[in-house]
Amino acid sequence: MSVDDDCNLYSIKRDALPEQVISAIKEAAKKPLAIKTKDPSFLLSQQNLPPTLAADIMHQFNYFLSVLEQEGLEFDLKVQTHFKDSCKLFHGDNVFARMIVTYCGPTTEVVEEDNLNRDQLGTDWESFEEYNCRVLKDRNKIINLELTWAHVLFGEKSGKLPQIHRAPDIEGTGQVRLTAIGTIY
């Protein structure tokens, strides 16, 4: 992973998760979670977050920070369960970089540059669907990121074109998303 190339999305492949982490994910996804911290070790003190999952999230986030080595920039980590839609519009983030790990549920949707009408980003819109249709050239070419892998999406402050993405629609489906999102501002 390099700040100096043109790539705006990196995916860090994972081996199969240990059974105790899978069990912890299933347990954590049953209840509302909304944790935000600047200290990843804070996760270990959270009663509603199983320790094995907290340790896994800390490992992913610390690796993300160490690889990018952006001294002097602010960062934070959020762990959330999503029972409703969030981030429905395709967009790029106004950050240096964001790490997204989806532990359960539908994963983040990204758009490759050749499937994007970048000039339509940020324009006025009547509905989420109408906006997203204008931004995309072909809805069938949306890419869903891999479950449990750490995905690093560069944002506007990186000097690269921001990776365009959104959260998938889950409202009314009974699905739950459990995500860990680390941000370097």
pLDDT tens, position by position, 26-42: 999 999 999 999 999 99
Architecture of domain 9-184: Sandwich (2.60)
Assigned token pair, 60: 């992913």
Compute the mean pLDDT over every residue in the chain, rounded to the nearest whole number: 93
Report the percent of the chain where pLDDT is more than 70. 97
Helix axes 51-68, 19-28, angle to 10 degrees: 100
pLDDT higher than 70, residue 137: yes
Largest CA distance in the chain: 46
User: How big is the chain by its Cα radius of gyration, in Å?
Assistant: 16
pLDDT score, position 80: 96
pLDDT higher than 70, residue 54: yes
Dump pLDDT digits (tens) for 84-130.
999 999 999 999 999 999 999 999 999 999 999 999 999 998 899 99
